[in-house]
Chains A and B, each alone.
Chain A
Amino acid sequence: MEGKDVEKEKQEEGSELSAGNQSEPRLIAFVCNWCTYNGADLAGTSRMKYSDNVRVIKLPCTGRIDPLFIVEAFKKGAKGVLVSGCHPGDCHYTSGNYHSRRKYATFRDLLGYLGVDLNRVEFSWISASEGNKWVAVINEFTDKIKSLPAQTTDIFTKK
């Protein structure tokens, strides 16, 4: 990210309120180190443009992405959360993404049952060579989040 953006981001980071602001909703992407992060990197080095609402947080593996991270992101005012990792069969640690898939299939149900709009959580498999897919997923997700009503309710935010 270039200097100007960093400045802008710092200002935004300062106030939590701006993170949930409707015109520019904040999205958090939890990505794995080996596939999706490199896919996003490829998009960057190939000079592809994608929505700058997303903030990427790199973790070793989708298996390391605890559902608490999602809860924490929502609590801090994120409008949407994306979890992305290696395609099934491609996991750097052999099976982290399979375990994660099982966890998230149930966690997603639980979130929905407790009244979180499931349009606000997204999951994807993006490999290191799929820069285009990263761009598409992020742009689609941003559009989807922007189309949601201004005041989204969830059990984690104070009323």
Chain B
Amino acid sequence: MANTKTDEKLQKIAKELLESGEANLFIGYTKGSNPQRMRPVFITKPEEAEKLSFSRHAVQDLAVFLKKQEVKKFGKIGIAVKGCDEKAVNTLIQEYQISRDDIKIIGMQCNGVIKQNLADKGETEVSEYTVYDKCLICREHTPVLYDFLIETEEPELSLSGNVKPYAEIEKLESMSAEEKNAFWAQEFDKCIKCYACRQACPLCYCSRCIVEKNMPQWIDTNSEETGNAQWNLIRAYHLSGRCIGCGECERACPVNIPLMLINEKMAKDVYNLFGYKSGLDINAKPVFGVFSESDFNDFIK
């Protein structure tokens, strides 16, 4: 496939960054095994920058690599990110995991990425039926923070309102405790404890995860009801107020547990309770790192 204008701009910027030494490593997308797939690529030499590409199939959140030691050792890093993924970079900066000075953000304007499972069946059109739910509620088509912005050539996503993103959340909220329990018990029953959700998450960076702590063993590691529920609950809890909604956990899940229904619900609750949205401001204090004397108190006797 020929290079698009977007690709050319991206390649030029990456090349310059690598040549000038402003970045020792550039993380971006390249064309995958078929035209409907993109894959991450790591570039260290300026002449390799021509591999870079971007399209409506660039579903991965590349910010996940920023937490890896293998990537961190390069020091100065350039990264191509969509608006949603950029919020993960912001959160990592906010939580002192990376320094703003060490990272060059190439913001890719994006009007939605096509669901991978549909793309694999040959879907190439961006429409409200083919993009991820996160794209339908996206307010950061243009990343909030960037050093270079690459404008999109894609047409704007038109929303008729026929598709309700994360519609299940409201349905679940109105259920009784037993019904909710039945729903989640069935979902968590599928969990095989592969921890792909954790690995794919750009914000799950603890060098020793709570499931790996065994003195005491807080979370049962066998893939049975109790342990599965504990794991999924704690994973969601550790991400509440932090999750930026990139949806990588759900996409990585081999048994299709609708993890985003939990993440989005928590994001919604945190916003309702504390008026905080994650990933928008690198200078904001993390929501659970601060408190207010007038916080919600109704549930306490």
Interface residues of A (CB under 8 A from B): 67-68, 71-72, 75, 88-89, 95, 98-99, 101-118, 122-125, 137, 153-159
Provided the pairs A71-B230, A99-B291 are in contact, do residues A125 and B188 lie with their beta carbons within 8 angstroms? no
Distance to closest chain B CB from A80 (angstroms) = 13
- The residue that A68 contacts in the complex, of B188, B218, B270, B300, with Cβ under 8 A, is B218
Asked whether B173 lies within 8 Å of A113 as measured between CB atoms, the reply is yes
Residues of A within 8 A of B210 (CB): 68
Smallest beta-carbon distance A95→chain B, Å: 6
CB-nearest residue of chain B to A99? B291
Given contacts A106-B266, A123-B301, A158-B225, contact A95 B291 (CB under 8 A): yes
The answer to whether the Cβ of B299 comes within 8 Å of any Cβ in the partner chain is yes
Instruction: Give the CA-CA distance A68 to B288 in the complex, in Å.
Output: 16
Contact of B291 among A68, A101, A111 (CB under 8 A): A101
Interface residues of B (CB under 8 A from A): 172-173, 177-185, 188, 210, 218, 224-226, 229-230, 232-234, 236-237, 240-241, 262, 265-266, 269-270, 273-274, 287-288, 291-293, 295-297, 299-301
Which of A106, A112, A159 lies in contact with B177, CB distance below 8 A? A112
Instruction: Contact check, B237 vs A115: say whether CB atoms are below 8 A apart.
Output: no
Tell me whether B181 and A153 are in contact (CB under 8 A): yes
Q: Given A98-B292, A106-B241, A109-B269, 11 other A-B contacts at CB below 8 A?
A: A67-B237, A98-B291, A106-B273, A107-B237, A113-B172, A113-B265, A115-B181, A116-B177, A116-B181, A122-B301, A155-B185
With the chains together, A110 CA to B266 CA distance in Å? 7
Determine if B234 and A125 form an interchain contact, defined as CB atoms under 8 angstroms apart.
no
CA–CA, A1 to B173, complex, Å?
Answer: 43
Q: Which residue, of B172, B218, B291, B296, has the highest number of chain A Cβ atoms within 10 A?
A: B291
**Which residues of B lie under 8 Å from residue A89 when comparing CB positions?**
293
Are B301 and A155 within 8 A (Cβ)?
no
Q: Are B225 and A159 in contact, CB atoms less than 8 angstroms apart?
A: yes
Write out the residue numbers on chain B whose beta carbons fall within 8 Å of the beta carbon of A113. Answer: 172-173, 180, 262, 265
9 A-B interface contacts by CB (under 8 A): A105-B296, A106-B269, A110-B233, A114-B180, A114-B233, A115-B177, A115-B185, A124-B301, A155-B181
Question: How far, in Å, is A73 (CB) from chain B's closest CB?
Answer: 12
Q: Of B225, B288, B296, which contacts A155 at CB under 8 A?
A: B225
Using known A-B contacts A102-B288, A110-B240, determine if residue A125 contacts B300 with beta carbons closer than 8 Å: yes
Complex interface: chain B residues within 8 A of A157 (CB): 225-226
Contacts of A72 in B (CB 8 A): 218
Interface pair B184/A101, CB less than 8 Å apart: no
By the criterion CB–CB under 8 Å, are B299 and A105 in contact? yes
Distance of A56 Cα from B266 Cα, bound (Å): 30
Check A118 against B177 for contact (C-beta < 8 Å): yes
Interface centre among A99, A102, A114, A159, by most B CB within 10 Å? A114
Closest 7 CB pairs of A and B: A115-B181, A115-B180, A155-B229, A98-B291, A124-B301, A123-B300, A117-B177
How many Å lie between the Cα of A112 and that of B178 in the bound state? 10
Residue of A108, A113, A123, A124 with most partner-chain B CB within 10 A: A113
Inter-chain contact A106/B240, CB cutoff 8 Å? yes
Q: Are B234 and A102 in contact (CB under 8 A)?
A: no
Closest A residue to B233 by beta carbon equals A114
With A106-B240, A156-B229 as contacts: A88 and B297 at CB distance below 8 Å? yes
